[in-house]
Amino acid sequence: MTTTTVPSSKKETSKFGQQLRTNFQTYALVVAMIIIWIFFFIQTDGIYLSPQNFSNLFRQMTITGILSVGLVMVIVAGHIDLSVGKLAGFVSVVVAYLQAYTWNQYLPDASPLLTTALSVLIGLIVGTLYGVIQGWVIAYLNVPSFITTLGSMWILNGLILIRTAGKTIAANQPMFSVIAQGYLPPTTGWIIAIGVSIVLFISMFTGRRRKVKYGFTLPPLYQDILKTVILSALVFGYVYYVNEYSGVQNPVLILIIIAVIMSYVANNTKFGRYTYAIGGNREASRLSGINIRGNTFTIFIVMGFLCGVSGVVMASYVGYGTIAAGQGYELFAIAACILGGTSTLGGVGTVFGAMIGAMIMASLTNGLQIMNVPSAWQYVLSGLVLVIAVFLDRVMKRNR
Amino acid sequence: MDNNVILEFKNVTKKFPGITALDNITFSIRRGEIHGICGENGAGKSTLMKILAGVYPSGTYEGQVLYNGQELKLVDRSIHQAVEEGIATVFQELTLVPSITVGENIYLGKEPVKVGIINWEKLYADSKQVLEKYHLDVSERSIVHHLGVGKMQMTEIAKALSEDAKVLILDEPTSALAEAEIEQLMDILRGLKKHGVTCIYISHKLDEFFKITDSITVLRDGKMIITEPTKNLTVEILVKNMVGREIKERFPKGNRKPGEVILEVEDLHALDPRDPSTELLKGVSFDLRRGEILGIAGLMGSGRTELVMTLFGEFGKITQGKIKLEGREITIHNSRQAMSYGISLVPEDRKMHGLVLIQSILRNISLANLNRFSTWFRIDDIAELKESTDYAKSLNIKASNLQAMAESLSGGNQQKVVIAKWLMSQPKILIMDDPTRGIDVGTKYEIYKIMNDLSEKGIAIIMISSDLEEVLGMSDRIMVMCENHSVSTLATAKATQEKIMALATGTVSQPVLER
């Protein structure tokens, strides 16, 4: 790829200006999301942002959201995974099958807690194992990820058909349903909010202390405090608003935990850094002593695990396993990553961006549903939004 | 109007946000001459050429460019309009499509067609004609990726000339060429002059200007400093005008005291991993001492890069021979292993192999050294920033801060980032493959000083270079390679350019190793 013409290296920009510029796309996305929200808010006479729908909106993005968290790393590394939707679907079918048939037969006296735990565990193992196989083929047998995962998509589709035998399998046991349909009691929500802001403040202060230790000048204290206060306020605001309905949604909590962990992994571990480096320049990474195969292998294992999580949530959310489970989810997840600023060329992308991307996709679908737009037109509009958003982003980048 | 002038710059000023890249440039280029333009990185050479190529179209700069007495008005940002006007550019980075033939590349985008179908006979006949007319010794039917850099460049020149160019801009054409290929290029340029083509020649290698140009313009910080016939100038005058101060010697004096032998390579043979039927190394032997700089000289394609890549564990499959580190025989299978033995490599092509261009300076410097700052699940990012900052400062990397993208830096600063990365890994042996390629005089000098400092600290340095003066100026000993084997190792005191060239081209054989 040719680099865009950078006029000169000596261009002095203030640190703030530079930060704003690098985060520009993220801010633009947040603004776009708010515009979408306002639009639907007006169009639906306020129903759209009522506590109930607000709560649903976030719940609806969880299944593809979890997939996009993993996909960001896959795409950043310069790969693609077309099998994520079907793998999550397959896991959901396996889990539903276990819930509907296996436990009754082999563990008739087991408590619902035990069977649910076993279902979840096996679901996660199935996803991870598939990731191991797929990662091994891509990393060590050098089959391009596009081909491998395209093949997987069909294989998994076949496996879903075999397992379901064309029928719908119920997975609506109360204990199991709690995973994706349950809510935290309001008090627990508040406790979590308090815990999160305490952690935010502590990490801000330890960060400052470490900087001092290495002799760096600190940004003004009020700036850091303001940042932390705003973040905490967002957390409290969210908890307050969903408590107005039923409380913090379990699947959203799962998604947030996963996103936070992966965001940390992406920036603060060798694995994450290497992933960005490999996607940015594979040869330079190899010559810097990075184990490219091992890293690639790990990425697909993580992706498989997240498909497992997504599949469990899916089974619990919809309450059954069907032949269409996960159909097309990979495309939603890819779209979320791209909307969130992930480069298809590799090396660039953030988990946070992908979350906002997933949020935008979910906001659109949800709003159009409330407005009773036929699903055919929902597809047309979603497609247009994706292409236009990426086009606008290109235009803005060029003019910067 | 002076009919002898083909191009005239009149008060050309080009501003970018926060910087004036060209500041009131005025000079003219005579018809049919070879006009050299020199200046340090960031002096404005590339910006000026981009105006001629239409990358910065008319209206985005102030002042006028007169072409044959008429104002040059290029409007679209593509280079096509400039090419139609007769101004063609051979870019520093080759822009050929590697998987197709020379002829196809020459006529890419302008293939002769008959009712919408490519007329292959005409395409190849025309290509052949262009190649022969300008004495470009390359076959029109060769697939480009089979060619060496020199022939690729000929193809690039043919591509430029196929449109009947009046002005040919060559942006650092020799940066990737070996000595013999440079001579060939010089002959080609002399031939072009006979055909009345005006050449604008940009280079960092000052001696080339005196071999080939008729006049020279020096730019510094966006300003035109001098424009003179070459015969009125000397290297000293050029350097003084380029850097704005006098550099007394090109190579700083070191106080190196080579110690005991740290690395011995005995009769190394290796195969090309992509094509096991070709032998890349056919018997290479040398030794390396602590605190010395060993220069490796040889033509492009003599196996220099293959040798060091093999020593770094990332290229050839060793079939025969020994590598001994501190007296102990070792095998190296990949770069991780090489690094664990204390071997580091600053690769030849910094953009392809040295840097992740879309990442920050910080991340590039720390990339090979994350183990130092991290446990399995955490990188101490502040320690990382601290140590990277220290290295960046000690190497004098010029950037607003370490968060700046590597691609925004000039070539010299990019190279310093690569060097910083490898210094941080604290090597015992530092291999530098053409470390000053495409870098301006001032930064070269800084890199030489860094090399001296390192060797004085006891690090053994292997330096490959295409620039014989550099090899002679910097090395303690010089190993010459020819046709994939080592011919001889000379003490620098006994070496001359002629002697090295003779060995490198195989015109004398001297299979003895002077130890």
The residues pairing with B477 across neighbouring beta strands, listed in sequence order, are B294, B491
The minimal CB distance from A286 to the residues B16, B314, B410 is found for B314
Please report, rounded to a whole number, the percentage of residues in chain A having pLDDT higher than 90: 72
pLDDT tens digits along B35-74: 999 887 668 888 888 888 888 888 888 998 999 888 888 8
What integer is the mean pLDDT of A152-178? Answer: 93
Query: What is the DSSP code (8-state) at residue A30?
Result: H
For A26-59, b where at least 16 C-beta lie within 10 A, e where not — what string? eebbeebbeebbeebeeebeeebebeebbbbbbb
Q: What is the CA radius of gyration of chain B?
A: 24
Is B462 in the A-facing interface, judged by CB distances under 8 Å?
no
Task: Please report, to the nearest 10 degrees, the dihedral formed by the alpha carbons of residues B51, B56, B58, B63 taken in order.
Answer: -60
Is A210 in the B-facing interface, judged by CB distances under 8 Å?
yes
Please report, rounded to a whole number, the percentage of residues in chain B having pLDDT higher than 90: 36
The minimal CB distance from B379 to the residues A9, A214, A269 is found for A269
**CA dist., res. B285 & res. B485, Å (int):** 8
Is B47 in the A-facing interface, judged by CB distances under 8 Å?
yes
Q: Considering only alpha carbons, which residue of chain A is nearest residue B422?
A: A288
Whole-number pLDDT of residue B246: 61
Instruction: Give A216's contacts in chain B (Cβ within 8 Å).
Output: 382, 385-386
Q: What average pLDDT is seen over chain A? A: 89
> pTM for the full model?
0.81
Q: Do A287 and B347 touch (CB under 8 A)?
A: yes
Q: Does pLDDT of B200 surpass 80?
A: yes
In a domain, A270, yes or no: yes
How many domains does chain A divide into? Answer: 1
Q: How confident is the model at residue A23 (pLDDT cuts 50, 70, 90)?
A: low
The minimal CB distance from A281 to the residues B17, B356, B410 is found for B356
For residue B398, what are the CA distances in angstroms to A12, A248, B19, B129, B411? 11, 50, 15, 48, 11
Q: Considering only alpha carbons, which residue of chain B is nearest residue A286?
A: B335
Q: Do A281 and B383 touch (CB under 8 A)?
A: no
Is A285 in the B-facing interface, judged by CB distances under 8 Å?
yes
Residue A104: partners with Cβ closer than 8 Å, 6 or more residues away: none
In a domain, A8, yes or no: no
**CA dist., res. B287 & res. B327, Å (int):** 11
Is B314 in the A-facing interface, judged by CB distances under 8 Å?
yes
Please report, rounded to a whole number, the percentage of residues in chain A having pLDDT higher than 70: 92
pLDDT tens digits along A346-396: 999 999 999 999 999 999 989 999 999 998 998 898 888 888 877 877 776
What is the residue type of A297? F
Whole-number pLDDT of residue A341: 87
**CA dist., res. B397 & res. A9, Å (int):** 11
The minimal CB distance from B400 to the residues A12, A284, A286 is found for A12
Mutual angle of helices B411-424 and B441-456, in 10-degree steps: 10
Which of B313, B311, B335 lies closest to B323, judged by CA?
A: B311
Instruction: Report phi then psi at A182, rounded to 5.
Output: -85, 170
In a domain, A187, yes or no: no
A336 versus A22: the higher-pLDDT residue is A336
Query: Hey, of A265, A271, A288, which one would you mutate to test binding to chain B, going by the most B CBs within 10 A of its CB?
Result: A288
Instruction: Report phi then psi at A291, rounded to 5.
Output: -80, 90
A 78-137: CB under 8 A from B: none
Write down the CATH superfamily of domain B5-243.
P-loop containing nucleotide triphosphate hydrolases (3.40.50.300)
What integer is the mean pLDDT of B339-358? Answer: 92
* CB-CB neighbours of B382 under 10 Å: 17
Whole-number pLDDT of residue B57: 86
Q: Considering only alpha carbons, which residue of chain A is nearest residue B384?
A: A214
Instruction: Report phi then psi at A87, rounded to 5.
Output: -65, -45
Domain regions of chain B by residue span: 5-243, 251-342+427-515, 354-426
Instruction: Give B359's contacts in chain A (Cβ within 8 Å).
Output: 276-277, 280, 347
B 315-354: CB under 8 A from A: 334-336, 338-339, 345, 347, 352-354
In a domain, A37, yes or no: yes
pLDDT tens digits along A127-142: 999 999 999 999 999 9
Which of B339, B336, B324, B515 lies closest to B431, judged by CA?
A: B339
Mutual angle of helices A292-318 and A174-181, in 10-degree steps: 120
Beta strands in chain A (DSSP E): 169-170, 320-321
What integer is the mean pLDDT of A197-221? Answer: 88
Whole-number pLDDT of residue B498: 81
The minimal CB distance from A277 to the residues B16, B367, B378 is found for B367
Whole-number pLDDT of residue B334: 92
Q: Do B47 and A214 touch (CB under 8 A)?
A: no
3-state class (DSSP) for residue B198 = strand
Q: Do B18 and A277 touch (CB under 8 A)?
A: no
Is A13 in the B-facing interface, judged by CB distances under 8 Å?
yes
Which of B196, B221, B222, B218 lies closest to B209, judged by CA?
A: B218
**CA dist., res. A295 & res. A280, Å (int):** 14
In a domain, A224, yes or no: no
- Scan for tokens 């302008």, then name that residue: B110
Q: How confident is the model at residue A9 (pLDDT cuts 50, 70, 90)?
A: very low
Q: Do A284 and B312 touch (CB under 8 A)?
A: no
Q: Is B12 in contact with B24 (CB distance < 8 Å)?
A: yes
Q: What is the CATH number of the domain that holds A113?
A: 1.10.3470
CA angle A288-A290-A295, nearest 5°?
A: 155
In a domain, A1, yes or no: no
**Do the first three CATH levels of B5-243 and B251-342+427-515 match, i.e. the same topology?**
yes
Whole-number pLDDT of residue B149: 76
Q: Is B5 in contact with B32 (CB distance < 8 Å)?
A: no
Q: Does pLDDT of A240 surpass 90?
A: yes
Q: Is A300 in contact with A81 (CB distance < 8 Å)?
A: yes
Q: Where is average pLDDT lowest: A1-5, A364-368, B177-181, B256-260?
A: A1-5
Instruction: Give A277's contacts in chain B (Cβ within 8 Å).
Output: 356, 359, 363, 367
Whole-number pLDDT of residue B293: 95
pLDDT tens digits along B376-409: 788 988 889 999 999 999 898 888 788 888 988 8
What integer is the mean pLDDT of A114-119? Answer: 94
> Domain B251-342+427-515 is of which CATH architecture?
3-Layer(aba) Sandwich (3.40)
Q: What average pLDDT is seen over chain B? A: 86
Q: Do B356 and A280 touch (CB under 8 A)?
A: yes
Is A11 in the B-facing interface, judged by CB distances under 8 Å?
yes
In a domain, A316, yes or no: yes
pLDDT tens digits along B484-498: 888 888 898 888 888
The residues pairing with A68 across neighbouring beta strands, listed in sequence order, are none
**CA dist., res. B273 & res. A306, Å (int):** 37
Q: Does pLDDT of A20 surpass 70?
A: no
In a domain, A88, yes or no: yes
3-state class (DSSP) for residue B360 = strand
Is A16 in the B-facing interface, judged by CB distances under 8 Å?
no
Q: Where is average pLDDT lowest: B13-27, B159-173, B236-250?
A: B236-250
Q: Do A215 and B386 touch (CB under 8 A)?
A: yes
Q: Does pLDDT of A89 surpass 90?
A: yes
Q: Where is average pLDDT lowest: A308-322, B41-55, B220-234, B475-489?
A: B41-55
Q: Do B356 and A11 touch (CB under 8 A)?
A: no
**CA dist., res. B7 & res. B68, Å (int):** 6
Which of B181, B177, B144, B179 lies closest to B159, judged by CA?
A: B144
Q: Does pLDDT of A12 surpass 70?
A: no
Whole-number pLDDT of residue A334: 94
Q: Does pLDDT of B321 surpass 60?
A: yes
What integer is the mean pLDDT of B415-436? Answer: 93
Which of B444, B513, B66 lies closest to B265, judged by CA?
A: B513
Containing B24, the helix (H) or strand (E) segment is: strand B19-30
* CB-CB neighbours of B156 under 10 Å: 23
